[in-house]
Amino acid sequence: MAAKAASNCLELRHISKSFQERRVLADVSLVVREGEIFGLIGPNGAGKTTLFNIITGLVRADEGQVLFHGQDITHWPPPRICHAGIARALQLPAPFPEMTGLENVLIGCWFGKRQAAAPDSEAQARELLARVGLQGKEEVPAGQLNLIDKRRLEVARALATRPHLLLLDEIAAGLSPAAVKQTAELVTALRDQGLTLLVTDHYLNLTLQVSDRVAALDQGEIITVGSPREVVRHPEVASAYLGTREAKTLPEAAP
């Protein structure tokens, strides 16, 4: 019997966005399959963060649709999107500084798509902190953590909402090579536990190592989508990172 094809977790259809007449995204279409790690790469200014903001409802697209498990969530506000099962670990961690790490994660447990009973919430929060490498720091105020630990706390807070889809934005920024290796192991472990992940990071080795498929984005356009090996060998990907790629001229919309 043939293996059942993976269903679509996230689908972006013809997403376009401009800020003050500056085009940031142009006709971006992508499909993230259920249970895969999908990597998004591209040089600075390619539009990766804007795309993440659109998926999570922080920014509205000028055109296009965002579908989550087949449901149109294009115009949903961020809290509703989070409750539906999409979470994000931010590039710049923003924990509540006077609260402990445990208290920060508990907020995620209480806010997530399935509210847990209070006794179970603390146990879950402690397990999540241990999973990201913060065991022993549960009672440390978040404001006293170093940058690396704040990033780990950001991931734990996102996981506490019990997402189906987790967006990881620059999760390896500022980490040592050993910490990057641990981060890669964490990302693949999360997928093995049933999560779908969308990952972007300037540390290409991490994205290419963990991803099942990768999309290359430059100047708001998708260059190519495929396996990590296929994408890095695409001629336009190298030129995009070197700053020598010329953007395609898109046809104007008919009046």
Residue 99, pLDDT score: 96
206 versus 9: the higher-pLDDT residue is 9
Rounded to 5 degrees, what are φ and ψ at 8?
-85, 130
CATH superfamily of 7-85+164-246: P-loop containing nucleotide triphosphate hydrolases (3.40.50.300)
Average pLDDT score over the chain: 88
**Length of the chain (residues):** 255
Sheet holding 8-19, edge to edge: 22-33, 8-19, 63-68, 71-72
CB 40 within 8 A of CB 47: no
27 versus 94: the higher-pLDDT residue is 27
pLDDT per residue over 133-165, tens digit each?
899 999 999 999 988 889 889 999 999 999 999
CB 163 within 8 A of CB 195: yes
3-state secondary structure of 205: helix
Please enumerate in sequence order all residues whose Cβ is within 8 A of that of 177, keeping only pairs 6 or more positions apart, or say none.
none
- Distance of alpha carbon 42 from alpha carbon 48, whole angstroms: 7
Q: Which tokens hold the place of 103?
A: 């208290």
Q: What is the pTM of this model?
A: 0.87
Q: How many angstroms separate the Cα of 227 from the Cα of each of 55, 207, 232, 234? A: 22, 11, 9, 11
Give the pLDDT band (50/70/90) at residue 252. very low
Please enumerate in sequence order all residues whose Cβ is within 8 A of that of 68, keeping only pairs 6 or more positions apart, or say none.
9, 10, 81, 84, 85, 86, 165
pLDDT per residue over 28-55, tens digit each?
999 999 999 999 999 888 999 999 999 9
Residue 94, pLDDT score: 84
CB 187 within 8 A of CB 210: yes
Rg of the chain in Å (alpha carbons): 19
Give the pLDDT band (50/70/90) at residue 2. very low
- Distance of alpha carbon 28 from alpha carbon 217, whole angstroms: 9
What residue segments make up the domains of the chain, in order of their start? 7-85+164-246, 93-162
Residue 186, pLDDT score: 87
Residue 182, pLDDT score: 83
Residue 132, pLDDT score: 86
Please enumerate in sequence order all residues whose Cβ is within 8 A of that of 158, keeping only pairs 6 or more positions apart, or say none.
87, 88, 89, 108, 166
Q: Which of 49-63, 153-167, 173-187 has the lowest mean pLDDT?
A: 173-187
Mean pLDDT of 77-104: 92
CB 220 within 8 A of CB 24: yes
Mean pLDDT of 223-234: 93
**Percent of all residues in the chain with a pLDDT value above 70, rounded to a whole number:** 89
